[in-house]
Amino acid sequence: MALINTNPTQTESWKKLTEHFNQLNTTTLTELFQEDSDRASKFKIALDDVELDYSKNKISKETLDLLVGLANDVQLKDAIEKYFSGDTINATEGRAVLHTALRSTSEEAILVDGKDIKPKVQTTLRKIRAFSNKVISGKWKGYTGKNITDVVNIGIGGSDLGPDMVVEALKFYKNKLNVHFVSNVEGDHVAEVLRKINPETTLFVIVSKTFTTQETISNANTIKNWFLKSASIFDVAKHFVAVSTNLEAVYDFGIDKNNVFPMWNWVGGRFSLWSAVGLSISLAVGFDNFKELLQGAEEVDSHFKEAEFDQNIPVVLALLSVWYNNFYGAETEAILPYTQYLSKLPAYLQQAIMESNGKSVDRNGDKITYQTGTIIWGSTGTNMQHAFMQLVHQGTKLIPADFIGYKESLHGYEDHHRKLMANYEAQMQALAFGKTKEEVHLELKTNGDLDKVNQLLPFKVFEGNRPSNAILFDKLTPKSLGKLIAIYEHKIFVQGIIWNIYSYDQFGVELGKELAKKILKN
């Protein structure tokens, strides 16, 4: 069954939210905290090893109730049902959206075209496990009989960003295999990777749902030609494997039938790291860790399906984002992980969020008159504090920010971790509460700089009243990473439902591809 069409701006809740916004807009975060000393514990959701503290948002209990009302007005509950049960919610492409089935351990069948997809998923997982074990253990040999030492993932977009981000994020858990990523059609990218590897000991994983993507096929051909300079065509089977839906094209490339891992059209590229697209993850950290990643995501799936909306982490994050995007006119959101391991998270989320919700036509096919997809950007703390945070603190734009932190560090440098987490807290406090004229005045006086008050005071004031979310995990593990990714996946879904758009197609990337082909022919 199709998703219902509701223009969110025509709902009762939207009207009430508009009125409410006009009242609340003049109340600052400092005032909201003064009004309710218990605010920090009220606007908090705990889910095992993760806690969302959203108290430093420009909301009251009434805001939250009205936003939940909006979710009800657009029948979010019903949409979630359809999402998980395999309805064709990607209607413009005539497909279900079932990345959640890839991590589901329940026995319940999920039907696509009348057939249960669960057995296929399990068979593929077993194939990923067997293959990863063979390569990691050294049973899988290269064409000269040597063990594999390096893996190169050849793909782009969803066939690159997810695995690349996760492999980087889970570096602490890595085994002896070195995993590289080649994505750009720009030849220096592939050339630099080729400089690092030996054809005798490298495995190439070509990941392309369509197996027609210009960048991926160009890189795969360049790499195969490079490989064939030292090996023979009969050695290709030992060094090239593929993940794709386009089996014919894969076989044409010369890949052995046994070395093809399936993809399915009910999984969108940007949500596919849980499938065989994650093969390079399983190779990098082992299948058990890959399974843990999936398990973390499955736990969030259950939470998302079952928790009341005001106790539901992805729903609350989505509602807050709608609040800022559609009522405060915020255009961007910052993703600020306080771990170097998550340095690739902002780029990954840019595709996931912006390719999904960057739409200006609603589910009726009508031009939209309200704002949709947010612009995502970010970097790791504390580095970004010394880079772009000036603008977030004192610039003219409202930029809601997600601070992602971990209670425990992985390598155990306690002193570093205490400093890191002090900065994590400090940034959110500074954004929310700022520094008043009086405080600046007192500070200048205490420092013996009273003579500079007239000159410096306005520049040193921090208005504050800038929102942030704290998403705090116990520790960065494969499982907690799976949770983090799934939280954002479901946030995307909820926003697409509220904005009445189709989040799972990406026609907007096609025109550029077509024109590039034409230009290339001339």
Give yes or no for residue 314 binding ligand F6P (CB under 6 A). no
Q: How far apart are CA 496 and CA 500, in angstroms?
A: 6
Handedness of CA 472, 491, 156, 189 (dihedral sign): negative
Cβ distance to ligand F6P smaller for residue 326 or 506: 506
Shortest CB 293 distance to ligand F6P, Å: 19
Give yes or no for residue 90 binding ligand F6P (CB under 6 A). no
Q: What are phi and psi of 46, to 5 degrees?
A: -110, 135
Q: How far apart are CA 207 and CA 432, in angstroms?
A: 43
Set 397, 419, 445, 513: catalytic member = 513
Catalytic residue flag (residue 513): yes
Cβ distance to ligand F6P smaller for residue 430 or 501: 501
Say how many residues touch ligand F6P, by CB under 6 A: 14
Give yes or no for residue 436 binding ligand F6P (CB under 6 A). no
Q: What are phi and psi of 447, to 5 degrees?
A: -85, 5
Q: How far apart are CA 307 and CA 299, in angstroms?
A: 12
Give yes or no for residue 509 binding ligand F6P (CB under 6 A). yes
Q: Residue 176 carries which side chain, given as an amino acid letter? A: K
Give yes or no for residue 159 binding ligand F6P (CB under 6 A). yes
Shortest CB 160 distance to ligand F6P, Å: 8
Cβ distance to ligand F6P smaller for residue 206 or 389: 206
Q: How far is CA 264 from the centre of its chain?
A: 20
Give yes or no for residue 209 binding ligand F6P (CB under 6 A). yes
Q: Are 431 and 389 in contact (CB under 8 A)?
A: no
Q: Are 327 and 18 in contact (CB under 8 A)?
A: yes
Cβ distance to ligand F6P smaller for residue 476 or 501: 501
Sequence-distant (6+) residues with CB within 8 A of 472 are 50, 51, 52, 53, 404, 405, 406, 407
How many CA atoms, within 13 angstroms, populate the side-chain half-sphere of residue 194? 16
SS3 state at 219: helix
Cβ distance to ligand F6P smaller for residue 333 or 355: 355
Contact segment (CB under 6 A) with ligand F6P among 195-203, 204-212, 295-303, 475-483 equals 204-212
Q: How far apart are CA 114 and CA 112, in angstroms?
A: 5
Give yes or no for residue 157 binding ligand F6P (CB under 6 A). yes
Of 355-384, binders to ligand F6P (CB under 6 A) are 355
Long-range CB pairs of 186-194 (<8 Å, 24+ gap) are 187/222, 189/219, 190/219, 190/222, 190/223, 193/152, 194/223, 194/226
- ω before 382 within 30° of 0 (cis)? yes
Set 344, 355, 359, 490: catalytic member = 355
Of 262-291, binders to ligand F6P (CB under 6 A) are 269-270
Contact segment (CB under 6 A) with ligand F6P among 43-51, 109-117, 151-159, 297-305 equals 151-159
Contact segment (CB under 6 A) with ligand F6P among 12-20, 116-124, 155-163, 393-401 equals 155-163
User: Out of 63, 202, 213, 385, which residue is the one contacting ligand F6P (CB under 6 A)?
Assistant: 213
Set 229, 386, 411, 521: catalytic member = 386
Cβ distance to ligand F6P smaller for residue 60 or 208: 208
Residues assigned a catalytic role: 355, 386, 513
The residues that touch ligand F6P, with contacts defined as CB under 6 A, are: 156-159, 208-210, 213, 216, 269-270, 355, 506, 509
